[in-house]
Amino acid sequence: MKSFEYFQDTKIIFGAGKVSEIGAVVKEYGESCLLVTTPAIEALKPMYDKVINLLEEAGIKVAHFDGVTPNPTTDIITIGANMAKSIEAKVIVGLGGGSSMDAAKAIAVEATHEGSCWEYLFYKTQPTDKTLPIIAISTTSGTGSQVTQVSVVTNTEDRDKSALYNNILYPRVSIVDPELMVTLPKFVSATTGFDVFCHAFESLIHPNCGALIEIFAKEAIQIVADTLPSVLENPKDVELRSKMAWADVLAGLCIANAGVTLPHGMGMAIGGMYPNVAHGQALAIVYPACTKFTWKDDVENYAFLSRAFNKNIGDDVSDLEAAEVSSIEITKFLKRIDLSQKLSDVNMPEDEIEALAKQCMVLPDYENNPKIATLDEMVALVKESY
């Protein structure tokens, strides 16, 4: 059996209708909060109003920062942190997908520390216990940010996307209410749903994967394979949304205790250089090439991948034969969920292939892959994804 260490510092409240508990949850930590979301467009405003009303009914003073964008930037974090300071917020509530929850975490740091959140990245000075308590309400299935110690931010000036990573950033409480997810657009459901698979699978092939994470990861992978296409066809089905939300929680627990590998390092670089590309979309672009590059170095787990996506690959097929078609199975699945794309499809300039390849090697994620890419191999992977 694989040895392991496991840590989780977040109370998880899971189930349909559980958002109704937000007032009591926040009040445990303070009576003034900053609610952090994406813009209050017509489709989202009823949800935001509902949460604000629940907080105010509990006697919480609320300010609403709705300036978060996909791939939240350091400038956005500073605006939110200044708002938090202006109302003397005691709690930060992130409501939304990964961008909103990650922004909430970074705001919780910057509002209580000197300088920008960028100064507190995983390899720099670490945030202290002055960090404001964070409550997460996830509305996608998704990024797993509701149960991780990671906050991903983008520095547009440097064209760099990196992360704060510290146990102080675990949300104190995470509310996962599948009813909040039934109005998600198809593209968001597809990209965030594929990200769930990526978190689980990359944790499975990660050197830090232990016995417990292996169970979580395989369960999440199978749920995504069996459920995500049906969710896209039946978006208002709460039971299907619940299954994907559960897979998201499992995959989040995986990356919090194991980590990600080559595809995420490449996906982060793409998001940093081309912020218009959604994170799950970037992963979908590079996954076929990364799978083809890696499968021979972890035959057992890539065979599991193939069998998860194709029930016709049974035990009568050897692991080697099953693993060999893993990139084909990934490509077929991406076509089913309308995420089969190339970098050229998202308007990446061809003359930036080498620059992107170098950026893919800035974060250490690629070093956790079963096969570690050289610079020449990374250039080849980017070219194949182009």
SS3 string, the chain, reads: CCCCCCCCCCEEEECCCHHHHHHHHHHCCCCEEEEECCCCCCCCHHHHHHHHHHHHHCCCEEEEECCCCCCCEHHHHHHHHHHHHHCCCCEEEEEECHHHHHHHHHHHHHCCCCCCHHHHCCCCCCCCCCCCCEEEEECCCCCCHHHCCEEEEEECCCCEEEEEECHHHCCCEEEECHHHHCCCCHHHHHHHHHHHHHHHHHHHCCCCCCHHHHHHHHHHHHHHHHHHHHHHHCCCCHHHHHHHHHHHHHHHHHHHHCCCCHHHHHHHHHHHHCCCCCHHHHHHHHHHHHHHHHHHHCHHHHHHHHHHHCCCCCCCCCHHHHHHCHHHHHHHHHHHCCCCCCHHHHCCCHHHHHHHHHHCCCCHHHHHCCCCCCHHHHHHHHHHHC
Taking 90 as the threshold, does the pLDDT of residue 278 lie above it? yes
Average pLDDT (238-250) is 98
103 with 75: CB under 8 angstroms? no
- Tens digit of pLDDT for each residue in 45-75? 999 999 999 999 999 999 999 999 988 999 9
Taking 90 as the threshold, does the pLDDT of residue 112 lie above it? yes
User: Which residues lie below 8 Å from residue 231, measured CB to CB, with a gap of 6+?
Assistant: 189, 193, 237, 240, 241, 244
pTM: 0.96
Under the banding of pLDDT at 50, 70 and 90, the label for residue 224 is very high
Taking 90 as the threshold, does the pLDDT of residue 30 lie above it? yes
Rounded to an integer, what distance in angstroms lies between the CA atom of residue 201 and that of residue 287?
A: 11
Taking 90 as the threshold, does the pLDDT of residue 42 lie above it? no
Average pLDDT (216-240) is 98
- Tens digit of pLDDT for each residue in 9-22? 999 999 999 999 99
- Tens digit of pLDDT for each residue in 248-277? 999 999 999 999 999 999 999 999 999 999
Domain 11-181 sits in CATH 3.40.50.1970: yes
Rounded to an integer, what distance in angstroms lies between the CA atom of residue 231 and that of residue 237?
A: 7
Taking 90 as the threshold, does the pLDDT of residue 300 lie above it? yes
Average pLDDT (75-84) is 98
User: Which residues lie below 8 Å from residue 329, measured CB to CB, with a gap of 6+?
Assistant: 305, 306, 309, 310, 313
Taking 90 as the threshold, does the pLDDT of residue 3 lie above it? no
What are the domain boundaries of the chain? 11-181, 186-385
Do the strands 32-36 and 134-138 form a parallel or antiparallel pair, or are they unpaired? unpaired
Tell which residue, 246, 47, 234, 241, has the closest CA to residue 146.
246
Domain 186-385 sits in CATH 2.40.50.100: no
Mean pLDDT of the chain: 96
Under the banding of pLDDT at 50, 70 and 90, the label for residue 315 is confident
Under the banding of pLDDT at 50, 70 and 90, the label for residue 2 is confident
Do the strands 134-138 and 173-176 form a parallel or antiparallel pair, or are they unpaired? parallel
Burial grade of 255 (CB within 10 A; 0-12, 13-18, 19 or more): buried
Taking 90 as the threshold, does the pLDDT of residue 383 lie above it? yes
pLDDT of residue 43: 84
Under the banding of pLDDT at 50, 70 and 90, the label for residue 362 is very high
pLDDT of residue 71: 87
